Amino acid sequence: GALVALAFFPARAQDSRTVTEPLVPRSCTMLAAQLPAPLAEPDEGKPDTRRIQDALDHCAAGEAVELKASGKARAFLSGPLQLRAGVTLRVDADTILYASRNPRDYDVSAGSCGVVNQPGHGCKPLISGDHVAHAAVMGDGLIDGRGPSSLIGQTVSWWDLAQEAKAKNLNQSCPRILVLSHADDFILYRITLKNSPNFHVSYSNGNGFTAWGVIIDTPKAGRNTDGIDPGNCTNVTITHCYIRAGDDNVAIKAGTPGPTTHITVSHNHFYYGHGMSIGSETDGGASAIRVTD
């Protein structure tokens, strides 16, 4: 009986789905880049936010909005974007989606982003997915959160604010690249994420999350720049990824709202960072977690 129990346990302590390498869907529309990379200062006033959001809003489920380089123009500039159910945001190779450096673009309330104070949590993410089943972010391109770059109208960067908050024992309000909530069957595939002002990827309150072949490339100077953080969710696979970050490479969180369970973290390369973490929050219950290779 004991031998049967031991043999059975490993199969249960992992994502209960059968996860295979994702496929990139066909594009509903292709948006051509209009800005150079790296961005010049005058380009900061030419955001692509509206045309990217409009394309996401009008794309059919099962298809992708494709961001593509065009000649010498390789860059898009955006403030917060909202994903839509069933729709993929695809960033092609040799194409960069830059996050706006203007804190006002991310304000949850007037003046709440780009500051150090006690409340914190004053910024919208660059890309949010709330109740968007079967959505995805894919492609061989780059999403750059621009954490070390000076903010518009200020002489400090997002990462400078994080260090100031640490010194003062306060909280920084800096945006995350991807925040996904109640987003069942979400996929991140092959995309590179770099220099997030705060966490790169937060996934919570969902059933089914796959990160396959994702590259997260951020130096240790970026405080609180976790790689991928699943929490209060079930059926998660993080595999074949390459992660270096200024905080946890992967942090499995399980705070009060509910358990985090059936997680597979496999075949990844972790470079510097705080490694593979369970917590800090675990009072909701963390179970059936398999970390291998």
Smallest CA-to-CA distance from 274 within 225, 239, 210 is with 225
Strand partners, 238: 211, 265
| 202, 176 Cβ separation under 8 angstroms | yes
Which one of 134, 182, 240, 274 is the catalytic residue? 274
Which helix (H) or strand (E) segment holds residue 269: the answer is strand 269-270
Active site residue 247: yes
Give 190's DSSP letter. Answer: S
Distances (CA, A) of 11 to 4, 60, 205, 207, 266: 12, 37, 23, 18, 14
Q: Which of 15, 107, 247, 248 is catalytic?
A: 247
Identify whether 182 is a catalytic site residue.
no
Structural tokens at position 228: 């991928």
The strand pairing partners of 27, in sequence order, are 64
Distance CA 280, CA 247 (A): 12
Helix (H) or strand (E) holding 90: strand 88-91
> Looking at the annotation, which residues are catalytic?
247, 274
